[in-house]
Structure 1
Amino acid sequence: MKEITLYSQPECPPCEVVKMFLNEHNVKYKELNIKEDDQARNYLITQLKSYSTPTITIGPEVITGFDLEALTAALNID
């Protein structure tokens, strides 16, 4: 399984939806709170070229926002 990282922040409804989706499908992921983790925030902006949460990395793939189709495809969920 590819490494999955969720970049999130407090009071982000789409972040909560992504977490529910991942948990519902028993997907293990690492969550990084960009409000508390400056290194994660900087990586999100400089390396992933994303300025919003949720941003999910699945191996080399980057998904910004709650994109159900992209998440389902990247995780091979039917």
Structure 2
Amino acid sequence: MKDITLYTQPECPPCKITKLFLNDNNIEYKEKDIKADGKARKELTDKYNSYSTPTVVIDGKVIIGFNLDAIEKELNL
């Protein structure tokens, strides 16, 4: 099982689609809302050098922005 973290924020349509995709494929993930959680926002920018959502981290591999093809590839779907 891969370790997956999804960085999101409210009113982000691509975030919602990414969550639907992961849920439809029965993939477990941790969601971090960068608007509600300042620590998550700092982690996103400092650790992953990302300033946009969704950002998906799969076993340390960072996928910035809405890219279902990259997520599928990383998860071998």
Question: Counterpart in 2 of 1:66?
Answer: 66
Question: Counterpart in 2 of 1:47?
Answer: 47
CA RMSD, aligned part only? Answer: 0.6
Shift of 1:68: 1.5
Shift of 1:65: 1.2
Question: Counterpart in 1 of 2:13?
Answer: 13
Could you tell me which amino acid in structure 1 is paired with residue 50 of structure 2? S
Question: Counterpart in 1 of 2:31?
Answer: 31
2:20 and 2:49 mapped to 1: Cα distance? 25
Could you tell me which amino acid in structure 2 is paired with residue 46 of structure 1? D
Secondary structure at the counterpart of residue 31 of structure 2: strand
Alignment TM-score, normalising by the size of structure 1: 0.96
2:69 and 2:28 mapped to 1: Cα distance? 19
Secondary structure at the counterpart of residue 50 of structure 1: coil
Unaligned runs of 5+ in 2: none
Aligned pair count reads 77
1:32 and 1:60 mapped to 2: Cα distance? 15
Shift of 1:66: 1.4
The percent identity for this pair of structures is: 55
